[in-house]
């Protein structure tokens, strides 16, 4: 709500301070545009993740080189995310998402020009800058465009927008590339991000301009009374969910980046596993968001982490029993079931971690909380792809996935945390 005596968001001036009570919220056109921009724009992210490593392998790169394409993308993503809180607090909420979507989408067709590892790494690095902008801005906007009582559902909807397209895009992108050609797949996914940029730009014009205050400056009125920490205390408060995101995202990267390679001869099974994983992620994330708003606390952080351990263990068991060549029914069941169980756990951890961080940071710290959460996600994905690629080359697929499962098991105690789980006032 704009305070009396301060300019309105439609007159082009920056309001002195505001609360979120007057925002259109979940039913507003601005929030709907953000969800549509995310769902369409991030198709260019989801589809390319398994495609580029497979494209690099066809050019002669080994598993380490294939994993390095994901690592290069995630490295520049994380470096960009480190700067995003500073950018968002200085007007970046207005332009970060659409500009980032363009930076992510426009270079994508360049992948089709060569299978040489050097150019693939370079294009991946450029696209990572755009994704770093989109990921932090989108997560923060999902919270800023709604009242505080709707934050859990807003992050759940945002998770649906990120994850639901992956149900079709993750397996569909690989199928499209293998049947219609990699060039076609890269062009289509690149254009999706461009469309997402156009939709995101429309948020500031939606709902009669009522969202503009949230796009301009921090929520200072709410921050003054929230008692939220800042600086080093804030970082310490975010440490446990950050570590959980790092490890679960690393495990997710193992499934997305490498599952298609040892089972390339069973494309139907890989497609089913990736679809089951993607659908389970959005189911777990949406369920966690709904329960958070209903009970005003995190409930699924521990079950989600345990589910991720069980799922990764099942996939590891499938790799131990797979001797190359054809895939038996037992192996197929283990892979698909493991991917689904892991996806449920990972989705729950995603939403519980982001709401926990947002609650601990308070409204004035949404940009920082979003950056830390996304850094945990993307740094984990990038480091996981590179380290797992190295482990695979040294020891094989099954031992490398087993190490991932053990690492997940080691961080389960961090999911027992309850401190700061209640929403900021």
- pLDDT 10s digits, 210-250: 777 777 755 444 444 445 566 677 778 788 899 999 999 99
Residue 422 has pLDDT above 60, yes or no: no
Q: Rounded mean pLDDT of 147-158?
A: 79
Q: Look up the CATH number of the domain holding residue 141.
A: 1.20.1250.20
pLDDT at residue 9, rounded to an integer: 39
Q: Which domain holds residue 288?
A: 25-416
| Candidate from 283-292, 356-365, 411-420 with smallest mean pLDDT | 411-420
Does the pLDDT value for residue 372 go beyond 70?
yes
| pLDDT value at residue 323 | 64
* Domain assignment of residue 11, yes or no: no
Q: How many domains does the chain have?
A: 1
Confidence of residue 390 (pLDDT cuts 50, 70, 90): confident
pLDDT value, residue 424: 43
Stated pTM of the model: 0.71
Per-residue pLDDT tens digits for 66-113: 878 888 888 898 899 888 888 887 778 888 999 999 999 999 999 999
Residue 394, classified by CB atoms within 10 Å of its CB into exposed (0-12), middle (13-18) or buried (19+), is exposed
Confidence class for position 406, pLDDT limits 50, 70, 90: very high
Separation of alpha carbons 168 and 245, rounded Å: 24
Average pLDDT over residues 138-162: 81
| Weakest mean pLDDT among 14-28, 199-213, 392-406 | 14-28
Query: Does the structure show a pLDDT above 70 at 6?
Result: no
| Residue 380 belongs to some domain of the structure | yes
Structural domain includes residue 113: yes
Q: What percent of the chain has pLDDT over 90?
A: 29
**pLDDT confidence bin for 363, thresholds 50/70/90:** confident
The pLDDT value recorded for residue 223 is 41
5 within some domain: no
Judged by DSSP in three states, 2 sits in: strand
Q: How many CB atoms lie within 10 A of CB 135?
A: 29
Neighbours of 265 (CB within 10 A): 11
Give pLDDT tens digits for 299-338. 889 999 999 999 999 999 988 887 665 667 888 899 999 9
Does residue 56 or residue 21 have the better pLDDT?
56
Q: What is the mean pLDDT of the chain?
A: 81
Q: By CB neighbour count within 10 A (0-12 exposed, 13-18 middle, 19+ buried), where does 227 fall?
A: exposed
User: CA-CA distances (angstroms) from residue 157 to 11, 35, 146, 274, 286?
Assistant: 31, 7, 12, 21, 7
Q: Are 202 and 34 in contact (CB under 8 A)?
A: no
Residue 3 lies in a domain: no
pLDDT reported for residue 230: 63
Q: Residues for the chain: how many in total?
A: 425
Closest CA to 288 of 312, 274, 311, 307: 307
Q: Is residue 424 part of a domain?
A: no
Is 422 within 8 Å of 359 (Cβ atoms)? yes
Percentage of the chain beyond pLDDT 70 is 87
Asked if 342 contacts 205 with a C-beta cutoff of 8 angstroms, the reply is: no
* Model pLDDT, residue 218: 55
pLDDT classification of 186: cutoffs 50, 70, 90: very high
Mean pLDDT of 186-209: 89
Residue of higher predicted confidence among 155 and 304 = 304
pLDDT of residue 102: 95
In a domain? residue 6 = no
């Amino acid at each position: 709500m704009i305070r009396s005596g301060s300019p309105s968001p439609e007159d082009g001036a920056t309001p002195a301070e505001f609360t979120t009570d007057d925002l259109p919220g979940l039913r507003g056109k601005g929030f709907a545009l953000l969800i549509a921009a995310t769902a369409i724009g991030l198709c260019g992210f989801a589809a390319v993740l398994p495609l580029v490593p497979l494209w690099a392998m066809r050019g002669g790169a080994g598993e380490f080189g294939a994993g390095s394409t994901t690592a290069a993308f995630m490295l520049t993503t994380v470096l960009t995310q480190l700067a995003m809180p500073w950018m968002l607090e200085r007007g970046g909420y207005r332009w970060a998402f659409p500009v980032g979507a363009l930076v992510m989408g426009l270079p994508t067709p360049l992948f089709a020009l060569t299978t040489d590892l050097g150019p693939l790494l370079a294009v991946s690095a450029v696209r990572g800058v755009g994704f770093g902008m989109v990921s932090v801005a989108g997560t923060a906007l999902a919270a800023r465009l709604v009242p505080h009582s709707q934050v859990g559902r807003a992050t759940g909807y945002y998770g649906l927008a990120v994850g639901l397209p992956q149900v079709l895009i993750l397996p569909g992108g690989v199928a499209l590339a293998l049947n219609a050609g990699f060039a076609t797949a890269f062009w289509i996914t690149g254009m999706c991000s461009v469309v997402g940029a156009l939709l995101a730009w429309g948020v500031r014009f939606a709902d009669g301009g009522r969202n503009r205050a949230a796009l301009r400056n921090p929520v200072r009125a709410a921050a003054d009374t929230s008692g939220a920490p800042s600086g080093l205390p804030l970082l310490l408060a975010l440490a446990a969910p950050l570590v959980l995101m790092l490890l679960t995202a690393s495990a997710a990267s193992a499934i997305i980046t490498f599952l298609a390679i040892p089972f390339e001869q069973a494309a139907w099974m890989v497609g089913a596993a990736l679809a089951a994983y993607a659908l389970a992620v959005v189911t777990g994330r949406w369920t966690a968001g709904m329960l958070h708003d209903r009970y005003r606390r995190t409930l699924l952080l521990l079950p989600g982490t345990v589910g991720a351990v069980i799922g990764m263990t099942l996939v590891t068991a499938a790799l131990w029993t797979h001797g190359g060549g054809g895939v038996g029914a037992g192996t197929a069941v283990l892979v698909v079931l493991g991917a689904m169980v892991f996806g449920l756990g990972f989705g729950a951890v995603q939403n519980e971690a982001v709401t926990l961080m947002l609650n601990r940071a308070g409204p004035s710290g949404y940009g920082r909380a979003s950056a830390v959460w996304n850094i945990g996600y993307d740094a984990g994905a990038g480091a996981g792809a590179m380290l797992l690629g190295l482990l695979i080359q040294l020891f094989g697929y099954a031992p490398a996935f087993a190490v991932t499962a053990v690492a997940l098991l080691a961080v389960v105690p961090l999911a027992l945390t309850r401190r700061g789980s209640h929403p900021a006032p």
